[in-house]
Each structure stands twice: as structure tokens, then as C-alpha cells.
Amino acid sequence: MQSGFAKFIMAGSLAATLQAAQPVFAAPCNWSAKMEEDEGGSVLTASVCGGPKADAQLMLVCFDKPVLSYDLGPSGQQLEPGISGSFTFKAGNKSVTKTLQLEAMYNYFTLELSGAADPLLALLRGKGNVTVTADKYGESSFPLTGSSAAIGKVLAQCGKGSAGDAD
């Protein structure tokens, strides 16, 4: 007959073994808006992670106009300065194709949007997931959970000067 302590130790060992055998998944990614450091100081940034390894990122900041950035992540390709690419953003039955320019300093693609009513922002404020595809750079999916609130916070800063001056 085993003592209660021995059963506890065996149960703990079994639980640890089962937990270790489970595949490791990245933490779920949802949109958030928070202050992040940029070369000019703090900037309110809406962002989300995604992609097969959850290491790709979509980021939105706003000065005079909203600027969307797409970081392919460390598992993305090595990029050459001065390039651009055509990217299609698809959510539900809607899609928007835009040409993004590589920002060499940060090694991610950027696009200045036309304003708060830009069709891409409307798509990103939807429900479900958005898939970003480019022939040269493959495909990544990002959840849209929390996107409307996070993007709304950033858009409220548009045209107010330095985003670092905001509360």
C-alpha cells in the first residue's frame, strides 16, 4: 500500500510528463494599443502578432496620417534595402491590395494610409482573421480580436503632433 505522499509524488510526475509531451504553442495574439519606443520617443502603437510562428507583426502608428507596418519576423526572408512589394490583405469576403515599401532601418514594410477612412483600416477593424499574402514573401494570418478598439485609440491621435505628447 502506497502512502498518500508517494501517490502525490507519482501524480505530480505523471502530470509533469504529460505537460512536457504536449506541443508548445505560441501565446494567443490579440490587438493591443500601447506606448512603444521609437527613434523620436514614445509612440502610441496598435499591434498584433501572427504568422506560423507568431513572430510576424502588424503595427499601426499615426502622426499626420496613419502608417501601417508589416514585420515578416525573424523567420521571414532576408530583405534588400529599397524594395517594395504588393501585399493582399484578406478578411472574410473582402480584400485590399497595397504596395508596401521596405523600411531598411527596421527591416519591415510600411505604408502611409490615406486616413481613418482608408479601406485597409476598415478591413483590419473587422472580425475573424486577416491573411496577408505576397507572391515573394508568402502568407501570414493575424487575428482581428481587439483590432477595432486598438486601431481607434491610435487613429484618435492622428494630426495631434507627436504621438509621444498624448496621454
What cell was used for 66?
496613419
Counted residue by residue, the chain has a size of 167
d(CA 125, CA 148): 4
CB-CB contact of 102 with 108 (8 Å) = yes
Q: What is the dihedral of CA 77, 125, 49, 128, to 10 degrees?
A: -100
Angstrom distance (rounded) from CA 87 to CA 74:
19
Neighbours of 5 (CB within 10 A): 8
Does the domain formed by 32-165 have CATH 3.90.180.10?
Answer: no
SS3 call for 149: helix
- Residue 117: phi and psi, rounded to 5, are -90, 10
Say what the pLDDT of residue 159 is: 78
Asked if the model's pLDDT at residue 24 lies above 80, the reply is: no
- pLDDT tens digit string along 26-78? 456 899 999 998 877 899 999 999 998 999 999 999 988 999 999 998 867 77
pTM (two decimals): 0.78
